[in-house]
Amino acid sequence: MRVRNAGLVAAGLCMVATIVSTHAASALGTLPDGRTLTPIGFTIPVEGFASSEAMSPDGAWIAVLSQDGGAVDVLSVGEDARLVERLSIPWASGMTWTADGLYVTRGYTGIVARYAYSAELSKDSPVFTKRPDVHVGGLVNGIADDPASHRFVVARTAAMEVDTIDDRSDDVIRRSPTTGQPFSVGISGSTIVATMYDSAHIDVWPSGATSPIRVSTGPHPTELLVAGGKAYVANADGHDVAVVDIASHSVERRYDLRVASNPYAGQTPSGMAISADGRYALSCSDDHTLRLWELPPEVK
């Protein structure tokens, strides 16, 4: 799967510790909660509460944000998958990894930690160069980067605004007041999208807009994935993923991910990913399950 920015508190999928092997299709493995998985996989221990992931631009590494451990663990990709690097980042809450580097928000510290990444020098392990932190202030959660403009946006949850920051000068280019508590953010072209954690909608800012357009999605929208002009919104209390057409600001379809007609609390979709060929989407939930579904042909 190609993991796109997700900041559960950000981005990506909620756990990478269990990796499925294709060499043991008849074998059966046991998950930590007692349920079984086939084909059997192998486990790579990471720090506690692994809440989101981000893949390096060259597809060589996966970063796993662990909130309880205050760390970002980096794993190699492929048959020799293993833990190769651990960055100590106290209060880590959100993460994105693009051509400009690995950026991590640090919760109530109000700080964005930045690490430049060199694919050319990264052979046995990723090579990072620590850049100066950016002090945004307040409670920071979701983060998304636009390499084309070298700007990134940050969700300031408690302040109820989304800030756009110039990555070169570290200046705040724009402060965008929100209609709720922003949690995850995404960029589609020149449009900014943010989930409103305490509401049933998302905010959308088309290019140059000073006020957001509200798009009703479902109760308690948290995770956000932006791909192909669409915003995939995980409604944590609605047991579904709403697909928003960003250009028309409308919900064009919903994917019901509940596993029962009257689901128990906790069956909440969170991190999401889309396969490299654009055919399938994957979402994980707080009930320790993964949902896989096929996307329409136009989603690429």
Does the residue 7 lie in any domain?
Answer: no
In this prediction, residues 79-107 reach a mean pLDDT of 93
Check residue 8 and give its pLDDT.
29
Does the residue 12 lie in any domain?
Answer: no
Does the residue 132 lie in any domain?
Answer: yes
H or E stretch at 175:
strand 172-177
Residue 189 Rama label (left phi>0; alpha psi -120 to 50; beta): left
Structure tokens at 221: 């929208």
Question: How many structural domains is the chain composed of?
Answer: 1
Does the residue 273 lie in any domain?
Answer: yes
In this prediction, residues 291-298 reach a mean pLDDT of 67
Q: Quick check: 140 and 156 in contact, CB under 8 A?
A: yes
Q: Which CATH number characterizes residue 168's domain?
A: 2.130.10.10
Each residue's pLDDT tens digit, 222-246: 999 998 899 999 888 888 889 999 9
**CA–CA separation, 280 and 292 (whole Å):** 7
Separation in Å, CA 275 to CA 229, 240, 280: 16, 19, 5
Each residue's pLDDT tens digit, 100-145: 999 999 999 999 999 999 999 999 899 999 999 999 999 999 999 9
Does the residue 10 lie in any domain?
Answer: no
Check residue 267 and give its pLDDT.
59
Each residue's pLDDT tens digit, 255-284: 887 766 665 555 567 777 777 777 776 666
- pTM here? 0.83
DSSP string over 136-155: --S-EEEEEEETTTTEEEEE
**CA–CA separation, 152 and 113 (whole Å):** 12
Check residue 260 and give its pLDDT.
63
Does the residue 267 lie in any domain?
Answer: yes
In this prediction, residues 159-181 reach a mean pLDDT of 96
Does the residue 178 lie in any domain?
Answer: yes
Does the residue 11 lie in any domain?
Answer: no
Range(s) of the domain holding residue 236:
18-294
**CA–CA separation, 167 and 9 (whole Å):** 22
